[in-house]
Amino acid sequence: MEKIQWQNNLSVGVPLIDAQHKQWIAHYNDIVESIASRQNKTQIAKTLGFLIDYTGIHFATEEKHMAGSRYPAFQEHKSKHDGLRATLGNLVKEFEEEGATEQLSEAIDTFLGHWLIRHIQEVDTKFGEYVKGKGIVLA
């Protein structure tokens, strides 16, 4: 598992969303750190909990603004979020049953880390372009 470094190619051009993505990455990196330094189960559970809570907040923010700006691809985008919400639920279950196994680390890396980068670059970016094109300022 590797930490994710924020880079400009992750910017969707909307300050509110970029700020939340940076925050999300910070929570993700906390998990990488706590697994790598072999923290105890309670501490790992806590960092995982923070990431899950923040994911909920972030998705809700995007969905609120997609609905509010009548974004045509809202449902499609939301269904991608729903997919990750389900994945997170499974990861937590797996963690509670098995602890921070090698498989769990790999799953976090694949399903969260890679998912996030791809989602930002392929899905969130399109919403960013829509927002900019319409001259909407998200606050």
Least distance to Fe ion, CB of residue 113, Å: 14
Tokens of 95: 């963690």
- Closer CB to Fe ion, 30 or 124, in the complex: 124
- Closer CB to Fe ion, 93 or 134, in the complex: 134
User: What residue is closest to Fe ion based on CB?
Assistant: 124
Least distance to Fe ion, CB of residue 59, Å: 7
Closest CA to 49 of 91, 21, 86, 79: 91
Annotate 108-125 with b (16+ C-beta within 10 A) or e (fewer): bbebbbeebbebbeebbb
Least distance to Fe ion, CB of residue 130, Å: 12
Q: Which residue ranges make up the site for Fe ion (CB under 5 A)? A: 62, 124
- Closer CB to Fe ion, 36 or 60, in the complex: 60
In DSSP notation, 6-54 reads P-GGG--S-HHHHHHHHHHHHHHHHHHHHHHTT--HHHHHHHHHHHHHH
Least distance to Fe ion, CB of residue 72, Å: 15
Tokens of 137: 């300022």
- Closer CB to Fe ion, 30 or 62, in the complex: 62
